[in-house]
């Protein structure tokens, strides 16, 4: 039986992919079987043969050193750097929940610890073409808990608190908050972390400094974030 965790973000470009890479690196360096998965990626470049390169998956592999094939890591890859629902409208092949679940279950069968990354913020629309598919529906369908990735810059209190509130409203468990690109000793950032902890009641599991090459978190604490998955 595998274990899985969902990385949600307070928005685009908070470093979810980077954090996923650090998490997978720590798992791999401790001899654990670790895999990555993402339902949809936008803003990708093309190879010489015209096929799209799943950029986030490539970044995760480079950071973590995992050997997982790119083809397993994301079923929907788009070129345009926009929300997946709009990219699909421009390029075709809209996101199908069934295919996302099929890929997720296959990764869970192959790896003991699967880290699934979200697209954008928690309300990222994956499909809006008469059929609606939002990111929380994917999280719920996969029966996952969330680790919330944020930064501690100005405005983070509002973004963290609103995301945590929405997750609670949707019945999605929040396992903790990880602050990325953290500047130790910065009074505003230190205070933002404390206020986010106070307002959400969530545990701050780590503050990752800018440019960190390793995740400073005890392995047992990291593994406790992952939920067992049913045998598929």
Task: Tokens 């003991």: give the residue.
Answer: 112
Question: What long-range pairs does 185-192 form, CB within 8 A, spacing at least 24?
Answer: 186/152, 188/152, 188/154, 189/152, 189/153, 190/152, 192/152, 192/153, 192/154, 192/156, 192/157
**Contact 207/193 with Cβ under 8 angstroms?**
yes
**Residue length of the chain:** 232
Nearest to 210 by CA among 178, 175, 184: 184
**Contact 79/1 with Cβ under 8 angstroms?**
no
Contacts of 135 (CB under 8 A, 6+ apart): 8, 39, 118, 119, 120, 122, 123, 124, 125, 126
How far apart, in whole angstroms, are the C-alpha atoms of residue 104 and residue 31? 22
Residue 132 token pair? 């609606």
Residue 103 token pair? 């890929």
The catalytic site residues sit at 38
């Amino acid at each position: 039986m595998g274990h899985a965790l969902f990385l949600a973000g307070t928005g685009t470009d908070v470093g979810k992919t980077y954090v996923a890479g650090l998490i997978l690196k720590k798992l791999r360096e401790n001899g654990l079987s670790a895999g990555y998965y993402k339902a949809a990626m936008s803003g990708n470049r093309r190879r010489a043969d015209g096929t799209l390169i799943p950029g986030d998956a490539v970044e995760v592999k480079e950071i973590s050193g995992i050997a997982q094939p790119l083809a397993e890591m994301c079923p929907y890859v788009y070129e345009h750097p926009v929300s997946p629902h709009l990219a699909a409208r421009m390029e075709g092949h809209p996101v199908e929940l069934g295919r996302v679940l099929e890929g997720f279950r296959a990764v869970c069968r192959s790896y003991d610890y699967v880290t699934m990354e979200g697209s954008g913020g928690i309300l990222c629309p994956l499909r809006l073409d008469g059929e609606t598919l939002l990111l929380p529906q994917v999280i719920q369908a996969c029966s996952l808990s969330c680790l919330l990735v944020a930064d501690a810059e100005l405005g983070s209190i509002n973004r963290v608190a609103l995301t945590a509130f929405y997750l609670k409203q949707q019945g999605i468990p929040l396992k903790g908050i990880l602050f990325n690109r953290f500047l130790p000793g910065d009074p505003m950032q230190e205070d933002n972390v404390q206020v986010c902890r106070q307002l959400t009641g969530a545990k701050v599991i780590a503050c990752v400094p800018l440019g960190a090459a390793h995740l400073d978190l005890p392995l047992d604490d990291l593994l406790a974030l992952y939920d067992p998955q049913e045998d598929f």
